[in-house]
Every structure is written in structure tokens, then in C-alpha cells.
Amino acid sequence: MIAEILRPVATCLILLLVDVVISPWISVHGWSPDLLLIYVIFYSAQKGKNAGLLVGLFAGLLQDITGGASLGLLALSKSNLGFWFGFWIEKKGVNPSVWLQCVVVFVSVIVQNTWVGLITLQGSEIEFGHYIFGDVLPIAFYSAFITFLIMLFTGNNGNKPKKIGALK
């Protein structure tokens, strides 16, 4: 029981460290993938909606605390995305394929960053269209590409049966 809780907490802390330390080296034109969001999507696909919600909340709070956005904004966003993807997977009863998880990460990055942009860009001189096409879409493509690479190198092809919704 404790290992089931500590494993995702440790993974989120490691991914945050990787994001902070390695991100400058893997960023392209200032765009870097959202590793914690990728993990939230992976975790909610494996464990279900409730686990996805909790891991998303924790991962988002970590990013909020380290200066990602207004406190609670990324926590709310990631927890919602983890819950709804886990809910959809549980309802369909499917094991998501590689392309489906890449598409979900792509759309999730767009949803999260659009929502964050709507709140944080108020009163700034940055145009919303420039933000979407200049920052959000490249980050979404990059995150989806990293998702593809992770699934390719881990051998997760979406065809292995697994128990979904273990932490209900």
C-alpha cells in the first residue's frame, strides 16, 4: 500500500528534477516537453481516474510551487486531465495504443496551456493567437513526440492487457 503511494510521488519528484535540470539542454527554441503531464496521462491510463486525479494534483502542485503558474492552476489542470482520461479509459475498457496516448498528450498540452494562458496573459501585451501558435502548439508537438519516444523505448505498444482502475 505504501509502495503504491510512494512510487508515483517519487516519480513525480524525479521528473520535476529532470524537468528543471535537463530541460535547458533538451529545449528547442525555448520549448520543452511537459514531462509531468506525460506521466499523469500514462499513470491515469494504467491506474484509472482516481489515481490519475491524485497524481495530476500532486504533479501540478509541484510545478505550481516551483514557479510554473499561479498557485493551484497547474494542479487543477493536471488533476482534471488525469481524471478525465482515466475516466474515458475505464469507461471504454481499452488499453490505449501508442498513437492514442500521443494524441491525448498533444490535446492535453493544448488544453492546459490554453487555460493557463487565458488566466496568466490577462493584462499582458502578448497576443493570444501568437501565444497559441508560437508557444502552445510547438510544446504540444514536442510533448507528443517525447511520448512516442518513451513508449517506443519502454516497449509499451498498447497491446498488453493490464488491470485498469486499481486505485478506485
Percentage of the residues of the chain whose pLDDT score is greater than 90: 45
Q: Enter the pTM of the model.
A: 0.84
Domain that holds residue 110: 2-154
Looking at residue 69, its pLDDT comes to 62
Is 134 among the domain residues? yes
pLDDT in tens, 64-113: 998 756 788 899 999 999 999 999 988 888 778 888 889 999 999 999 99
Query: What does the pLDDT look like over 100-142, one tens digit per residue?
Result: 889 999 999 999 999 888 888 877 888 888 899 999 999 999 9
Which are the contacts of 136, defined by CB distance < 8 A and separation ≥ 6? 109, 110, 113, 114, 117
Contact assessment for residue 119 and residue 73, using Cβ atoms and an 8 Å cutoff:
yes
DSSP 71: T
Whether 28 is covered by a domain: the verdict is yes
Q: What's the structural domain count of the chain?
A: 1
| Residue 60 covered by a domain | yes
Residue at 162 is within a domain: no
Task: Give the mean model confidence (pLDDT) for residues 8-37.
Answer: 89
Q: Which of 35, 29, 38 is nearest to 17 (CA)?
A: 35
Whether 144 is in a domain gets the answer: yes
In degrees rounded to 5, what are phi and psi of residue 152? -65, -45
Q: In CATH, what number is assigned to the domain containing residue 44?
A: 1.10.1760.20
166 pLDDT above the threshold of 50: no
DSSP designation for 160 = S
Specify if 161 maps to a domain. no
